[in-house]
Amino acid sequence: MKKKLFFIALLFYGGCLSAQTVHEVRDSVQIHFRQGKIDLSPSVGDNRSALARIADSLRTSYADSIYRLQRILVVGGASPEGSVRINRWLSEKRAGVLFDYLSRYGALPDSLKASEFLGRDWGGLIRLVMDDPDVPYREETLALLREIADEARGAAPAKGDHLGRIQRLRGGAPYWYMYKRHFPDLRASRLYLWYEKVWNPAAPIPQPKAEILVPPVDTVIIRDTIYIHDTLYVARPCPERPFYMALKTNMLYDALLIPNIGVEFYLGRNWSVAADWMYGWWKTDRRHWYWRAYGGGISVRKWFGRAAEEKPLTGHHLGLYGQIFTYDFETGGRGYMGGKPGGTLWDKMNYAAGVEYGYSHPIARRLNIDFTIGVGYWGGTYHEYKPVDGCYVWQSTRQRHWFGPTKAEVSLVWLLGHGNYNKGKGGRR
């Protein structure tokens, strides 16, 4: 009899224990936002069904004691562009919007709510690039992203502006591909909900629907959202696209008293195009002294070497160039005039074309010195004359046929454009 009573008590005690058995269930959705906004809209993409499922879970957790809500966590991430301060503010505001949305289905004590700021989601970007074989220079991009991710985790010393390093890689081609294709997927807040599942014999037997309301660890990606009540916009400019340009003057021409100016534009993929113009028109008739030259040229350059990979318009370059010009040089003796006397540049031009090599060396934050030498062909008509009794007497007309050095530059280069500066050369870092 005692054994039977003990066995019955044991069964009763075991039933009590089973009534208190707790199982934790976690549910999650990932909600994406437009750049710089905190809007949430159930009408975009799959938002309505995903948020409705979370709302069903919340209603069920308050309707009976089978599922009890224990905690809600919003983890806000960001794409690489934008400051940490702005991204943190967006993360906090988006978390508040999600809490407001969920509170419509029942009171949410502050003790249940928590939010975290993930920061720039380098790990997420690496996963997206790994899954996308079309990313330009994919292996180089992955190597740089992994290096940056290690620095962000503190595993290696920081090397300056992470975003700027990505923008400068291969002329910005990988950056702009990722900006359009992958950055929107990183502007997200992930919503986690933890439930406590307790079997309570006193509660109504749950319907089959209740058993499938909260599947284990599920993720729903919502592509775009706007706000359900009021709309709040963040005053934040879109990130500037990297732009590299240079103004320059050839100091060799300056030394010869021939004013000149040049401009160079970076085209991407380590290519650039440059153009220049010179105009010096000095004369002293009393001394029969002429020093005249004007014309211009254009060149297409390919940059290479380690310095060129780190920053455009720096380092070694090879190129093709063409020039048209005229001149009139006479210092009291025999004079030489390129092309026909009078007329336009097209009537009296000489011309040159060839290949060039140069190196652009940083000397200050926004200044380089560019050394360039060109070898090619110089052709055209020129005239010889002599000043006699206040007149200029023609002597002969000849054709120029010259193969050899036809271009020389020692140019002072002023770097212009967003991100176009030399690090470690003074000014802001």
Tell the CATH topology of 245-416: Porin (2.40.160)
pLDDT digits (tens, 9 = 90+) for 325-364: 988 888 878 888 887 777 677 777 899 999 999 999 999 9
Q: For 23-222, which CATH superfamily applies?
A: OmpA-like domain (3.30.1330.60)
Within 169-239, residue ranges assigned H as helices are 173-181, 183-186, 208-211
- Tell me the angle at which helices 138-152 and 173-181 cross, rounded to the nearest 10 degrees: 80
| Domain ranges (residues) in the chain | 23-222, 245-416
pLDDT in tens, 95-122: 888 888 777 766 778 777 888 877 788 8
- The pLDDT assigned to 157 comes to 45
Q: Write the DSSP string, 46-103.
A: THHHHHHHHHHHHHHHHHSSSEEEEEEEEEEEE-SSS-HHHHHHHHHHHHHHHHHHHG
250-258 long-range CB contacts below 8 Å, 24 or more apart?
Answer: 250/276, 250/278, 250/409, 250/410, 250/411, 251/410, 251/411, 251/412, 252/408, 252/409, 252/410, 253/278, 253/280, 256/280, 257/282, 257/291, 258/293
DSSP assignment of 322-352 equals EEEEEEEEEESS-EEEESSSSS-TTTS-EEE
What is the DSSP code (8-state) at residue 258? -
Q: CB–CB of 409/238 below 8 Å?
A: no
pLDDT for 182 = 85
- Domains 23-222 and 245-416 alike in fold: no
Distance from C-alpha of 223 to C-alpha of 29, rounded to nearest angstrom = 12
At 426 the pLDDT is 58
Q: What is the pLDDT of residue 25?
A: 66
Choose among 32, 176, 189: nearest CA to 117: 189
pTM: 0.46
pLDDT by residue, tens only, the chain of 429 residues: 544 544 444 444 444 444 444 456 677 777 777 777 777 766 655 667 767 777 777 666 655 556 677 788 888 777 787 777 777 887 788 788 888 877 776 677 877 788 887 778 888 889 999 999 989 899 999 999 999 888 877 644 444 578 888 888 888 888 888 888 888 877 777 778 887 766 555 555 445 444 444 444 444 444 444 444 444 444 444 555 668 899 999 999 999 889 999 999 999 889 999 999 999 888 876 667 788 888 999 999 999 988 888 888 999 999 999 999 988 888 878 888 887 777 677 777 899 999 999 999 999 989 999 999 999 999 998 888 888 777 778 888 888 899 999 999 999 999 998 778 887 665 444
Is 390 in contact with 362 (CB distance < 8 Å)?
Answer: no
3-state secondary structure of 388: strand
Q: What is the DSSP letter of 110?
A: G
Encoded tokens for 11 = 């069964």
Q: Distance between CA 39 and CA 32 in Å, rounded?
A: 9
Asked if 339 contacts 392 with a C-beta cutoff of 8 angstroms, the reply is: no
